[in-house]
Structure 1
Amino acid sequence: MTTQTTLPVNAEALKAVSQSKQEPAWVTEGRLSALELAGSLPLPKLEKQRIDRWNIQAYGEYKAAQELTSLDELPEHAAKLVEGSREGGLIIQRNSGTVYTKLSDELRSQGVIFTDLETACSQHEELVKPYLHQAIKADEHAMAALHAATWNGGVFLYVPKNVEVELPLQAVLLTDDAGALFAPHILIVAEANSRVTYVDNYVDSGLEGHVTHNGAVEIFVKNGAKVRFASVHQLSTDITDVTYRRAVVDNDASMEWIVGEMNDGDTASDTMSILKGSGSLSDAKVIAVGSGSQKINYTTQARHFGKSSASQMITRAVMREEAQAIINGITKIEKGATKADGQQTERVLMLSPKSRGDANPILLIDEDDVTAGHAASVGQVNAEQIYYLMSRGISRTMAESLIIYGFLAPVVSEIPLEGLRDQLQSLVERKLGQ
């Protein structure tokens, strides 16, 4: 299928914007090359869904961002997310650019870099250039190419060798202008034997019109390093959210994904760990609640190249009203990845006769000396469980809530960040109309 994607910008305009921001020549050239690719590549193929039928044309245009003079200028919803999170580091992007950046003096003295990606391209070219668009190539499909051409703001996090960052570093990505291009790119590089936790939230406020969010995350975990990446997307029905995440994990390194998909609009995400090194580890936890007439497509992947590499993927999704979900788990063990261990579980709970869920566990094994397994289930709330709880004096609404919380608990309870657990709990309650 040939893409019919309408390009949101022409080459002349893209070059003019890049030059107005005084981007290095290699960044401008990369953007223009990606834009040319976008015009010829097909759209990404989603399992059992057609993304070309979604509203993926509302990119808007680049609008220069004005820095915040105070965090009090943020919409109330966004301001609550940054309460008590300013000790380590904080970045805020609003629409097309970064408006607030802070990093503690202690971390800066240790060589940690935490800034917007646009600034990093100019000030830390030697650290950014070898990694940008290398885990997610611009030629993967039309949306990857469009992102590589139009990304803005974003986050660059660099942790030097042997540095352990104790406090989570946080970013808030906010869109509140439907006419503004919103396409942050997150790039994290953790050098050998380093440790870091990064948490971000995608939010919107007061939109008047539709927004297409085409985002990307690239993470490089060097030998013996550990990265914990937590992301919560809580965007409204006015936003189509398409996000691709990739981590390249080296020898004895560890990658942990914690993803809360709490959007109200159509959503597609693909989260992959590339276990390149021997002894590399990946642990992915994804929870999702769908509502209204949402169309949802979540894919979690682990691709094993390293010997004795191990991956664990757990996805739990709750669908209510007329929401439709496709949940994919893909474990690929390449030839030569001996002693690899890949495990995955996908479970979907449907709360209404009109909701739909589809769990697809996929194992692709090209090596004999490995261990791999999967489990998947799709079902509705058990009527007997509801009856039992109601017979003990509990209302139907509360009974359903208890069952749902019990269904999500195996994932939520394993999240090591207390603040994130509480946030996801409140978002689940909101999505369930409680």
Structure 2
Amino acid sequence: MATELNAFELDKEDIIAKANARGESEFLIGKRKEAVEQFDSLEMIKPDKTKVDKWDFFNVTSPVVEGSTFNTLEELPEGVKELIDLDKVENIYVQHNNTPAYLQLNEGLKNKGVIVENIIDASQNHPELLEQYFMTDGVKLDENKLTAYHAALLNGGVFIYVPKDVKIEEPIQSVVLHDDESASLFNHVLLVADEGAEVTFVENYFSNLESSTEKINIISEVLAKDNAKVTYGSVDFLPKKMTGYVNRRGVASNDATIDWALGLMNDSDIIYDNTTYLMGDRSNSDLKIVHVGRDAQKSNFTTQIIHYGKDSNGHILKHGVMKDSATSIFNGIGYIKHGATRADAQQESRVLMLSGDARGDANPILLIDEDDVTAGHAASVGRVDELQLFYLMSRGISQKEAERLVIHGFLDAVVSALPIESVKAQLKEVIELKVLS
């Protein structure tokens, strides 16, 4: 049931007592205190064209729900193993509900100083790095009520640090298994690629539940230092009736690249914020998002690439399919700040509706404070192309199969960009499930 925002309060004493009982670091407990103290004074998010005053982002049943731990990959649940190439995977972190369940990192990478740890342990083991990067340059703790709420109730996530000039050839994969209806997900990903480093990170949120009334509050911070390159892929598939806020943020320095390939297949009602700051000269970001909405699901996507650096390049590509009575808002923003000369901001949003009750809005926005730049946008909202269907059906293909082929082709721009074959296959299966159900 929806809560009145002004009536909701965080229990500071309870939060701190439980954090102390878990043996958390002074740094992390300090962040929780700071979040609770600022919570009441902060503004609520106001996503464009979506009213969230009746959405219940709060009232978490339990701050931490335990899961199982595993000694080997073979012990992992079948649904998780389907996301992993057991013969090839070298670097993987698994979280079961709110419990760090399994970690495997190539010994050669450890010797080079690569860090992959659950974020709560990392706050104790690597305080100098967490204090430097956690909710500082990426997402600010006091950005809004939901970022403070996230810091107060943080209950999972992973910290990844890649030292200078270390280039990781095999992806680092994170899998979060959600199979308890009382488990909320306040996950935080902090990925730092130091100067000249390269890494591919792929995360999966997977649930075998049909529904849960718990909350999703996920924040990812990706920091790419000078000449670093980060490829970030994700497939999210969480159940119906959850309420969520997902904020993925990137900061790129000189000659750095942050590329995103996101398969956002959740059945929950979620507000998505994906913003990349191109702070450095010649910095780059390529953002691809694919989404399928079904039933009465509500989604709002705000995707921004903000240019500060000269000769920076930012491209946004979003494709969504809406069916049943699902609604989705696609807000794309390319913002070129004064001084970002010769910046290039491009974006494209396409929405395909499969029923008369489905609704999708695509809103491309260009904000330009500089003269010597290149910018462009395209947007379309429509139904399945009858000519394409007719052509396929004239070759003996049934209407249902023809629609399936058209939809897969429509979404393939993002699907094909995912960097792990097993995850790419999973996304195709999820698309199949959501479109044909």
Aligned equivalent of 1:332: 335
Does the aligned pair in 1 maintain the 2:84–2:423 contact within 8 Å? no
Instruction: Spell out structure 1 runs of 4+ moving beyond 6 A.
Output: none
User: C-alpha deviations, 1:282-341, integer Å up to 9, x for none?
Assistant: 000100111111101112110100011110110000001111010111111111111110
The one-character-per-residue Cα deviations of 1:146-203 (angstroms, maximum 9, x if unpaired) are 0011112210000000001010011111222232342110000000011100011011
CA contact (8 A) 2:243 2:268 kept: yes
> Against the structure 1 CA distance between its residues 396 and 55, is the aligned structure 2 distance closer, same or farther, given a 3 Å change threshold?
farther
SS of the residue corresponding to residue 399 of structure 1 reads: helix
Aligned to 1:15: 16
CA contact (8 A) 2:27 2:127 kept: no
The separation in 2 between residues aligned to 1:281 and 1:74, in whole angstroms, is: 37
Q: Distance in 2 between matches of 1:321 and 1:24?
A: 47
Q: Distance in 2 between matches of 1:225 and 1:209?
A: 39
- Is the contact made by 1:6 and 1:57 (CA closer than 8 Å) also made in structure 2? no
CA shift, 1:3, in A, is 7.0
Partner of 1:311: 314
Whether the aligned pair in 2 keeps the contact of 1:302 and 1:331 (CA below 8 Å) is: yes
Q: In the alignment, what sits opposite 1:372?
A: 375
Look up the equivalent residue of 1:293 and give its one-letter code: A
- Cα 1:341–1:302 change in 2 (3 A) is same
Q: 2:37 corresponds to which residue?
A: 36
Asked if residue 237 in structure 1 is aligned to residue 233 in structure 2, the reply is: no
Work out the CA distance in 2 between the residues paired with 1:7 and 1:70.
Answer: 42
Identical-residue share of aligned pairs (%) = 41
Structure 2 counterpart of 1:427, one-letter code: V
- Shift of the 380–164 alpha-carbon distance from structure 1 to 2, 3 Å rule, reads same
Displacement after TM superposition at 1:54 (Å): 2.6
Shift of 1:101: 1.7
* Residue aligning to 2:391: 388
Which of 265, 271, 279 in structure 2 is aligned with 1:262? Answer: 265
Match of 1:410 among 398, 409, 413: 413
Counterpart Cα distance in 2 of 1:74 and 1:207: 21
Q: CA deviation at 1:241?
A: 2.8
- For the residue of structure 2 that corresponds to 1:432, the secondary structure is helix
Q: CA RMSD in A?
A: 2.0
Query: How far apart in 1 are the matches of 2:372 and 2:162?
Result: 35
Q: Which residue is 1:429 aligned to? A: 432
Comparing 315-324 with 262-271, which one deviates more in the overlay? 262-271
- Superposed counterparts of 1:223-234, under 5 Å: 223-234=226-237
2:196 pairs with one of 183, 186, 193: 193
Q: For residue 10 of structure 1, what is the amino acid of its counterpart?
A: D
**Aligned with 1:92: secondary structure?**
strand
Partner SS for 1:52: coil
Matched, 1:250 2:270: no
**CA distance, structure 2, for counterparts of residue 161 and residue 394 of structure 1:** 54
Contact 1:172–1:202, Cα closer than 8 Å, also in 2: yes
Asked whether the 8 Å contact 2:225–2:256 carries over to 1, the reply is: yes
**TM norm structure 1:** 0.95
1:130 counterpart SS class: helix
Distance 1:296-1:431 versus aligned 2 partners, 3 A rule: same
Alignment of 1:202-241 (within 5 A): 202-206=205-209, 209-241=212-244
Q: 2 CA distance for matches of 1:334 and 1:247?
A: 17
What is the correspondence of 1:339-378 to structure 2 with a 5 Å cutoff? Answer: 339-378=342-381
Q: CA deviation at 1:64?
A: 6.0
Q: Does the C-alpha gap of structure 1 residues 64 and 49 become closer, same or farther in structure 2, counting only changes over 3 Å?
A: closer
CA distance in 2, matches of 1:238, 1:335: 43
Q: Distance in 1 between matches of 2:216 and 2:204?
A: 13
Residues in 2 aligned to 1:22 and 1:306: alpha-carbon distance in whole angstroms: 42
Q: Alpha-carbon deviations, 1:124-157, whole Å to 9, x = none?
A: 0111111101111122111111001111221000
Contact 2:244 2:270 in 1 (8 A): yes
Q: Which moved more, 1:30-39 or 1:189-198?
A: 30-39
The structure-2 alpha-carbon separation of the partners of 1:190 and 1:7, relative to structure 1 and needing over 3 Å to count, comes to: farther
Report the equivalent of 1:46: 47
Offset at residue 58 of structure 1 (A) = 4.8
Using the TM superposition, give the Cα deviation of residue 102 of structure 1 relative to its aligned residue in structure 2, in angstroms: 1.8
SS state at 2:340 partner: coil
Change (3 A) 1:420 1:82: closer
Contact 2:200 2:231 in 1 (8 A): yes
- Shifted more, 365-374 versus 16-25: the winner is 16-25
Instruction: Pick closer, same or farther for the CA change 1:364–1:256 going to 2, 3 Å.
Output: same
Aligned equivalents of 2:27 and 2:115: distance in 1? 21
Distance in 2 of aligned mates of 1:7 and 1:230: 35
Report the AA paired with residue 256 of structure 2.
Answer: A
SS at match of 1:129: helix
- Using the TM superposition, name which of 302-311 and 231-240 deviates more: 231-240
Gaps of 5+ in 1: none
Aligned amino acid, residue 236 of structure 1: P
Of 30, 47, 69, 1:67 maps to: 69
Deviations 1:203-237 (A, max 9, x none): 12347741111010001100000000111110111
Distance in 2 separating the partners of 1:391 and 1:315: 30
Shift of 1:72: 5.2
